[in-house]
Structure formats: C-alpha cells, structure tokens
Amino acid sequence: MAGFEQFLTAGKKGLLIGIGGVSMSPLAEVLHDVGVTIVGSDMHESDNTRALREKGIGVSIGHKAENITDDLDFVVRTAAVHDDNPEIVAARAKGIPVFERTQAWGTIMRHYPNAICIAGTHGKTTTTSMCTHIMMAAEKDPTVMIGGTLPLLHAGHRVGNGDTIIFESCEYYNGFLSLSPTIAVVLNIEADHLDFFKDLEEIKTSFRAFADRVPEDGIIIANIDDENTMDALRPLGRELLTFGLSEQADVHPANIVRRGAMSEFDIIYKGECITRAVIHIPGEHNIRNALAAAAATMQLGVSPAAVKYGLSGFQGAGRRFEFKGKFNGADLYDDYAHHPSELRAVLDAVEALNYTRTIVVFQPHTYSRTHALFNDFLEQLARPTITYLAEIYAAREQNTIGISSRDLAERLPNAHYYQTFAEIEQSLAETAKPGDIILTIGAGDVFRIGDHLMGQQR
C-alpha cells in the first residue's frame, strides 16, 4: 500500500471513521486546512461532529457501506475500528487504501520541524497538557493532540501555525511506532495492555523502538527514577536527557514545599537553578510530570519564565484529579486512573491532603487488565476508608475470563459492590459528609456518577 504522504495535497478526498473522536477530529481539521477534502462518520452526534460541520466537513452518523463513495482516495481509522466494520469492508472491496490514525499523524508530524511526543504507561495527558501550557506561555502557537480535555483549549486539541506539534503518544497496538518524534519523552514503563502485549519485556522493546525513531540530532528524555524506562532505553547507544526526583537526573527539583494540593520547587537543569515553579495539582508524580514538560520544552529554546508561568497556570486536565464540586459537604473529584500504579499515585496524593475519610468509587477498565493485575488492584483498593466497586467497563473486550468487580469486593473488607450507578449514588447520599473526599476513578464512564450527583444539587 502506498504511503500516506501522497494524500497530503489539495484535491485529494478522504473519509475518517470515528471522526468525532478526540484524536480524529483534530486530524480532520489539519487535513482540511491543507486543502484535502474530508468527510467522516461517527456513531453519535457530539460537540466535535457539530464543530466539524461548521468548518465545512461532512459528517454522517452511523457506519454504513454507502459512505464509501467512488471518489474517495483514502480512509483513516482508529484501532477501535475493526476489519469487519462495513466501511472498512466496502473500502477494501473498492481498492481504496485504509490507514491507521497514527500513520496519518506520523506523516503530518514530519512536516513540523519540532515534534514533542509524550509516551509512558501513566501521566501522558497531564504532561502533554503541561507542555501545551508552557508553549502557549512562550507564544509558540503549537499544534496539540491530547487524550483528554484541557480547559485552556476548551478541547483536547489545537491546530496552530507554529513550527511545533505536541502529541500524546500511546503504546497500545504499537501505535506510537508510526510517529516521527524529534523529542521523545518516556515517563515510565509498566505492564499494561496485556490483551495486546505478551509481557513487560515486549512492552519495553516497543518503547525502545519508539525512542529509536528519534533522529540522531533529536533528543530522548527519560525518567531516571523508573528502572524499566532506563533499562529499555540504555541499549540505544544514544545520549539521554534524564529527569526525576533523584539528584542524579539532569532535570530535578530542589527545596520542595507542599501546601495542600500545591507543590512549589526549584527546577535544577544540568546543575543550575533555572526557575522556581508552582503546580496546583497534588502528588509526587505530578512533580515528575512537570519536570518532564520543562525538560522537553526547554530543548526548543523556551525561556525559564515561560516554564514558570506555563506550569503555574495549569490547573489540571479533564478527568485528571478534576474537582467536580461538593456533595453532602464532601469534596468530589474525578480521575482517569485505571492501572494499580495510577491508583497508588492518586491515593498517595490524597493522603497528604488530610481528609477525614477517603471514599473511592472505582470502575475497573477491561477484563484482561483486571485479571492480569488483580492482586495489585486489591493492594490499592484496600487503602481508602470506603471503596465502592462498579462493574468492569468492557471497552473493546468480551468477558471470556468470567471475571467481575464482585471478585475484588469479596477480597476487600472495606469494599461494596453494586451492579448499577444508581445504587452507588444512593449509598453515597447516605454516607458522604463534610470532611470526606469522594473520588470517582476509572477510564470508563464512572465520571457520570459525579456529573449526576452534581446535577441533582443544582
């Protein structure tokens, strides 16, 4: 199949399947802006589909073979769109080339002199968002692709006119191996997505291949505190710029002061204090994320002042320790954490905030992850004062394992399992009180509990 480059010209026409998605809608905008005629399909109407129509991009609701017209030159899909999708079947029957989303983005990325790609098992959205804040403070007008909503952008993406693209880069299905980073950031590497990867060693091999995509005059930025990251990247025979809490890191903090959810610290860059930074989101892991963002953006000549003001203006991304409001006098937050290490980071951060009780509503994400990391989930879910367990969010999977959130609850003395969100909401209404923190946690739709509770109070 021919490469995607030949389709980045005016007069070509393409269809994007799932065009309303967080990564596909900005792709549609970028292609539209270079003169490519873009149409698309999605299963549901959304703010993104309506915004695309306003730009003159046609969107059909529903995946139908008749959407694949003879005048199409190419089709782009995400990993969630499988070969049995009627539009994929029709495109292949007509001989129309089908590309993965990351193949398209990787080609577009090569047209930017600077491409910051943020990878890692955890922290990608927050670090990509921090990079965006810094580059905006530096008035660099970046193009941005984030896997979540950033209040600064009122969206998860931005199409700029500058020479830099900032891209959240996911390892699932080796998607990030289609990208073309000039600056590759590896935040951490852990066992995850085990429905695709065989084991941790295969994941480390994938991350090594990602870093190896950086050209010789590019930069690889790595978390010195993470053993898996350093083990995966050291054999590259390339110099690494390191960040972390360790004083051995090229970029590390000093004189850390924590006050509630805020952390203040000096940023030491290669032995020199370049600025004193403040971040308004809690947790040691977010100090590391800020250091990674500072390290990446400073390679592009960003001033220490832009780093300082960019980080201070960041209040968090959507679904990343996002404050939703007060319910029964308790503080209600929502977080996207869906891996035991992410749970640990959130709970570690909460412990420093001195709430009377911690109430967690957790919705596991995928049967394979719940099964593979079962004991690790138990260890973290035993920590809150009260844990509510919603049923596992299936996402892309079928429950061939026969596992349920009930299995977790039966092993936890502090846990309650409920089949419906309504039952959890009722119990929260009877339980929550001032002095509590309530956290709805998970990568599925558990956030709807907080939204519903907040809506009930209005």
Distance, in Å, from the CA atom of 360 to the CA atom of 75, rounded to the nearest integer, reads 42
CB 163 within 8 A of CB 113: yes
**Is residue 322 annotated as part of the catalytic site, yes or no?**
no
What letter does residue 393 receive in the DSSP assignment?
B
Cα 145 → chain centroid: 10
- Catalytic residue, from 107, 125, 149, 164: name it: 125
Distance, in Å, from the CA atom of 220 to the CA atom of 252, rounded to the nearest integer, reads 16
Rg of the chain over Cα atoms, rounded to whole angstroms, equals 22
With H, G, I as helix, E, B as strand and everything else as coil, classify residue 410: coil
- Which candidate, 451, 305, 437, 349, places its Cα nearest to that of 123? 349
- Catalytic residue, from 87, 168, 171, 322: name it: 168
- Which candidate, 125, 170, 123, 126, places its Cα nearest to that of 147? 125
- Counted residue by residue, the chain has a size of 458
Residue in this structure with the two tokens 């007509």, named with its chain if needed: 94
| Backbone dihedral region for residue 15 (phi beyond 0: left; psi -120 to 50: alpha; all else: beta) | beta
**Is residue 431 annotated as part of the catalytic site, yes or no?**
no
- Catalytic residue, from 29, 78, 124, 143: name it: 124
What letter does residue 444 receive in the DSSP assignment?
S
**Is residue 168 annotated as part of the catalytic site, yes or no?**
yes
Burial class from Cβ neighbours inside 10 Å (0-12, 13-18, 19+) for residue 402 reads exposed
Element (H, E) at 308: helix 304-312
Residues belonging to the active site: 124-125, 168
